[in-house]
Amino acid sequence: MILPVVKYGDPVLRKKGVAIEKVTPEIKRLVDDMFETMYNAAGVGLAAQQVGQALQLTVIDVRAVKDRPSRMEIAGKVVDVAEHMPLVLINPKITPFGDPTKGPEGCLSFPEVYADITRPDSVEVEATNAEGKTVRFKAGGLLSRAVQHEVDHLNGILFIDRMTSETKAEIKDEIDALQAETKELLKKKKK
């Protein structure tokens, strides 16, 4: 089922996700719905907060992006990224490392907003997958950026928080309008 994507201005985007104790059938269904929602919106990642659930859960698939390479390493060996997609990361713990690298980012909760964000170019990840198993890998390139962006969501952090003040000033009107629109929509829903 395609779920509505929560837009900036909805307080759930600022909530830290609760850890998932067990991969229940409900969680599996949510994972399926999140993938359907993400593919439908042509996104590379989606966090539970973006479908209104403050949980430590995100889904990622970088295969559709051909012009921005990703790297992945498991147990010290470089692996084929496509073979390990899509990713379900439950309760992820990450350690970003490497040179700060600037790259373009968008977010399904901020339609039409794109900006350069600087993040460490690599990341080490430990998480539980949809089968309840522990997965560990290192990622670089787009995959690293996607993991860092999504794990930020799980902690209530948004990409606008990572923008330089100059970039944020440039898009201020756009995001203020989006926030006002979302709040108006939420008000209507409550009535």
By the criterion CB under 5 A, which residues form the site for Zn ion? 107
- Output the smallest distance, CB 25 to Zn ion, in A: 27
C-beta separation of 12 from 49 below 8 A: yes
Nearer to Zn ion, 9 or 23 (CB): 9
Task: Check whether the bond before 4 is cis (ω within 30° of 0).
Answer: no
Nearer to Zn ion, 23 or 153 (CB): 153
Exactly one of 150, 166, 170, 181 is catalytic; which is it? 150
Distance CA(54)–CA(67), nearest Å, equals 32
Which residue lies nearest Zn ion, judged by its C-beta? 107
Chain mean position to CA 92:
12
Handedness of CA 72, 73, 78, 83 (dihedral sign): negative
Residue 32 burial (CB < 10 Å; 0-12/13-18/19+)? middle
Nearer to Zn ion, 41 or 177 (CB): 41
- Output the smallest distance, CB 153 to Zn ion, in A: 5
Nearer to Zn ion, 45 or 141 (CB): 45
- Output the smallest distance, CB 191 to Zn ion, in A: 29
* Three-state secondary-structure class, residue 131: coil
- Output the smallest distance, CB 13 to Zn ion, in A: 9
Active-site annotation holds for 150: yes
The residues that are catalytic are 150
